[in-house]
Amino acid sequence: MKAALQTYHARMQRVLEHIDRHLEDDLDLDGLSAIAAFSKFHFHRQFTATFGLSVHRYIQLARMKRASYRLAYRDDERVTEIAMDAGYDAPEAFARAFRQRFGQSPSSFRKSPDWEPWLAAFGPLDTARSMLMQKTFTLGDVEIREVPPTPVAIVEHRGDPVTLGATIQRFIAWRKAVGLHPRTSPTFNVWRSERRPVSPADYSVDLCAGTDRPIESCGEEIESGEIPGGRCAVLRVVGNTDNLEPAALYLYRDWLPVSGEEVRDFPIYCQRLKFFPEVPEHQAVAEVFLPLK
């Protein structure tokens, strides 16, 4: 029974990964049911029963998520191109759908996103993906690595995590202005608080770009610092890396007590290696580092 359920879920996950890879293509029920090797007469009901969303709604939300990321974080792409890749024949139709879902036009969102309705809009998509894409780890997934010290430029985010997107926008804009591209300058997040502190105002994370160059502010509040070298337990996460809390909890709750190791005085952090939407969401990669004595 369990093996049959795992096989069923694996077939559904193939569909989600295919959708991720082909968001700009024609994703019809016949093709998706063939990917899952299910009957086309029943597949749409099976999908809805599994994920709580119809195939059509899931694809719409996935396309809108990628489009909104591109609008917010990639200002060199034209709205027309983003609209076409999201499956709309005209920018006007895309703008109507975007406004209906987020309460802003695409151009207004690009200039000044309202992140709270954006987060709420993708709740059903995140719930659907988490049903089959929950990450499970084993002791063998954790590698102890000697990490060299890395000088970094830091943009601090302090306050409600709902506003983190705005800080990420400023961080990306600053990197572009000073020529610190993620391909040549590693990207780190240092978590200074819990992901969901009792008071949202206490949320704290540092966005870091590796560089040993003098810091140029370009009008932003940028600090220089260092991610210290030393031994670290490292856990790689492949897939949706928006929420790395499960990986951090695994290191603290499951790996650390049986490892015989002790942590040192630097926060847990991650390095982001492959980014959505540059790669499909299921191919994003991040590594979580737990500093050890």
Query: Which stretch of 2-16, 21-35, 269-283 has the lowest confidence by average pLDDT?
Result: 2-16
Helix 123-132 crosses helix 43-51 at what angle (to 10 degrees)?
100
| Domain end call among 130, 159, 185 | 130
Residues 215 and 279 reside in one and the same domain: yes
The rounded distance, in Å, linking the Cα atoms of 93 and 100 is: 11
Q: What is the CATH number of the domain that holds 124?
A: 1.10.10.60
The pLDDT assigned to 195 comes to: 86
Residue 81 pLDDT exceeds 90:
yes
Checking if the pLDDT of 65 tops 80, the result is yes
Quickly list DSSP for 84-117.
HHTT-SSHHHHHHHHHHHHSS-HHHHHHS--HHH
Q: Model's pTM, two decimal places?
A: 0.88
Give 3-state DSSP helix, strand, coil % of the chain, rounded to 5: 50, 20, 35
Q: What domain count does the chain have? A: 2
The first and second tokens of residue 82, run together, are: 């983003």
Domain range for residue 56?
A: 2-130
The percent of residues above 90 in pLDDT, for the chain, comes to: 73
Same domain, residue pair 158 and 111: no
94: tokens are 């895309």
Judged against a pLDDT cut of 70, whether residue 134 lies above it is answered with no
Low-confidence winner among 132-136, 164-168, 205-209 (lowest mean pLDDT): 132-136
Average pLDDT in the chain: 92
d(CA 158, CA 131): 31
Average pLDDT over residues 197-215: 92
